[in-house]
Amino acid sequence: MSAESGISTFRDAGGLWDKYPVEQVATPEGYAANPKLVTDFYNERRMQLLTVEPNRGHELVAELEKHFNVTVITQNVDNLHERAGSTNVIHLHGELTKVTSSWQPNNPKYIKELKPEEFEVKMGDTAADGSQLRPFIVWFGEAVPMIETAIDYCMKADIFLIIGTSLNVYPAAGLLNYVPANVPVYLIDPKQVPIASGRQVHVIQKGASAGMEELTKLLV
């Protein structure tokens, strides 16, 4: 979804996982072994946010709120959906612009939204419980706190739209299984994406912006 805005993807060729081993920057073990490396990695991701804008795909998702009750469930950790105007966004994998306690990462008391001038977190910057501030990101091996909320929305959906995901990362990839059988499903992706459920899916094989332009004509 955010690739067209210039944000590096994680899984595509040349993506972040080609440059940074997952184990080093996206696991609790990596953070325990080298917290400065992980802190610097997410500082870089935050600084990149200051240089990019929402793309037309983000804007068209937000514009759907004029016609529908829209909930965005995203695996992306950037804030581009919100900046484009979407008002109900569930971040499954955390939020890049937030930090939290290293000891109690999901305790709302310690989750803090950073202002742009605070985007560079340093070693020694602490949460209210005295622990080092860590990114408010769900790392591999950690529970996904918002998955139950996302499942509830999927079970109540009247239309289900999938944009730009490999459907390889669980538990998010399993959300389609909770969508009622009679609900129309649309998938926007420039690449072929295998649908394991055997479900009828209307595929729009385009990028996020061009795909959303086509979808908007179909729905509105």
Q: pLDDT per residue over 79-130, tens digit each?
A: 999 999 999 999 999 999 999 999 999 999 999 999 999 999 999 999 999 9
- Asked if the model's pLDDT at residue 11 lies above 80, the reply is no
Domains present along the chain, CATH in parentheses: 3-219 (3.40.50.1220)
Question: pTM for this one?
Answer: 0.91
- The residues with which 188 forms a beta bridge, in sequence order, are 163, 204
Q: What is the pLDDT of residue 18?
A: 54
Residue 169 pLDDT grade (very low, low, confident, very high; cuts 50, 70, 90): confident
Lowest mean pLDDT among 11-20, 65-74, 87-96: 11-20
Q: Which residue in 81, 91, 93, 202 is the catalytic one?
A: 93
Active-site residue flag, 81: no
Question: Shortest CA distance to 96 belongs to which of 151, 144, 48, 31?
Answer: 48
**If you search the block for the tokens 């499954």, which residue do you land on?**
92
Question: Shortest CA distance to 1 belongs to which of 120, 98, 86, 66?
Answer: 86
pLDDT digits (tens, 9 = 90+) for 18-32: 567 778 889 999 999
- Asked if the model's pLDDT at residue 220 lies above 50, the reply is yes
